[in-house]
Structure 1
Amino acid sequence: MDPFLTLLHSFSLSLSDAELTSMKFLCRDKIGKRKLESVKSGAELFNILIEQQQITRDKVSFLESMLENIKREDLVARLKQFVEEGEVTSPDDQPDPREKRLLKAAIGVICDNVARNWKTLMRELDFPEVKLERVMAANPFNLREQFFQSLQEWQKSKGKDAKATDLIKALRRCNMNLVADKVEQKLLLLDTETR
């Protein structure tokens, strides 16, 4: 399935009737009145715009401006993420709130305690070399930020399958047992605080 069409479909499902009406109004100079009157969903509107080459996977500025005009910053953010990464994570593909909190704590401890060997850990997590290079290029003078962004990207790519325990296991496989122990202690502390 085409990821861009999947994204547009999810946008369509989240549009209210009032938002669809506003988007149709914003398209008046692009689409004829009769055609616009027959549009009953966001998917139909997007389909017409795709046919007319107003929006494509590589040309989203018109779509972005429409979403900004109807004040849907959440959809604008997902669209920008799609453009930057070529992929989109849906809200239901995210770790549950408890796991997110544990991951955040684990990533903080790891960033504070792993220095030179951070790339070894990322490779152990099967983080793609190409993404590793992209993160390093984006933060050329800040080693900690490179590591932090790499871990964030790893978490995003794993979606709901990202687990703090995976980080601990990877640390142990890299013989970073002291850091793994610190992460476990931090997670244990967090778990006892939330009970």
Structure 2
Amino acid sequence: MDSFYPLLHFLSSSLSEGELSSMKFLCRPHIGKRKLESVQSGMDLFSILLEQQQITRNDLSFLEDLLKNIKREDLVLRLKQFEEEREVSAPDDQPDVHEKRLQKAAIEVICENVGREWKMLMRKLGISEAKMDGIMTANPYNLREQVFQSLREWQKGRDAKVTDLVKALRGCNMNLVADKVEEKLLLLNTRTG
């Protein structure tokens, strides 16, 4: 059985009414008032956050911040434990050496060529707004680093494939960048093939 939902259930059952109330307050900038009023449990709150992709199986940073804000370090520890266990069990899902080389090349091209529209691309790749905001806060004046860190975040996904990058670029009408990525990949494949 997948351990993600049991983890959320455990966190929910560990919250007091006051703590849930504090978490709801902290979520006000992200969740509408009417939705928040309907929240009766941690699971209700987590369901909304999952729906809005504030938390995902691969990105629990928003949830971690909430738990830190309500001073529940024990639950933060439990979250980190889950993330470590997930990383240990992930090697089977990781891309092979060739795919990693292609990803690295594609990321270099994208970092050099994608400008201020980078967030549109990241949304297409499934990176949450919260994660992008965190990356922007950590690298406020470095657009290239924001793009790079976001793509690194995308790579953590189980099925990160270069073909998905190209598809996402084309989906955002960044065809010139997609062409450059494909040229670079073709060059790499002819060298290694």
Structure 1: where are the runs of 5+ without partners?
Answer: 4-55, 61-81
Report the equivalent of 1:193: 191
Aligned length: 123
Counterparts of 1:148 and 1:105, CA distance in 2: 12
How has the CA–CA distance of structure 1 residues 192 and 84 changed in structure 2, closer, same or farther, with 3 Å as cutoff?
A: farther
Aligned partner of residue 154 in structure 2, secondary structure: helix
How has the CA–CA distance of structure 1 residues 84 and 153 changed in structure 2, closer, same or farther, with 3 Å as cutoff?
A: farther
Report the equivalent of 1:122: 122
**Is 1:103 aligned with 2:97?**
no
Counterparts of 1:123 and 1:143, CA distance in 2: 16
Report the equivalent of 1:139: 139
- 1:84 is displaced (CA, Å) by 10
**How do 1:12-27 and structure 2 match up within 5 A?**
none
Report the equivalent of 2:162: 164
TM-score by length of 1: 0.56
Counterparts of 2:77 and 2:170, CA distance in 1: 45
How has the CA–CA distance of structure 1 residues 86 and 189 changed in structure 2, closer, same or farther, with 3 Å as cutoff?
A: same
- 1:95 is displaced (CA, Å) by 0.8
Aligned residues with identical type, % of pairs: 62
Counterparts of 1:111 and 1:59, CA distance in 2: 34
How has the CA–CA distance of structure 1 residues 183 and 59 changed in structure 2, closer, same or farther, with 3 Å as cutoff?
A: closer
Counterparts of 2:149 and 2:91, CA distance in 1: 20
- 1:86 is displaced (CA, Å) by 4.3
**Is 1:153 aligned with 2:153?**
yes
- 1:137 is displaced (CA, Å) by 1.3
User: Structure 1 residue runs of 4+, over 4 Å off?
Assistant: 56-60, 84-87
Aligned partner of residue 147 in structure 1, secondary structure: helix
* 1:188 maps to amino acid: L
Counterparts of 1:173 and 1:58, CA distance in 2: 37
* 1:184 maps to amino acid: E
TM-score by length of 2: 0.56
Counterparts of 2:98 and 2:115, CA distance in 1: 27
Structure 2: where are the runs of 5+ without partners?
Answer: 5-73
Report the equivalent of 2:91: 91
**How do 1:32-71 and structure 2 match up within 5 A?**
58-59=76-77
How has the CA–CA distance of structure 1 residues 86 and 135 changed in structure 2, closer, same or farther, with 3 Å as cutoff?
A: farther
- 1:83 is displaced (CA, Å) by 3.6
- 1:143 is displaced (CA, Å) by 1.2
Report the equivalent of 1:53: none
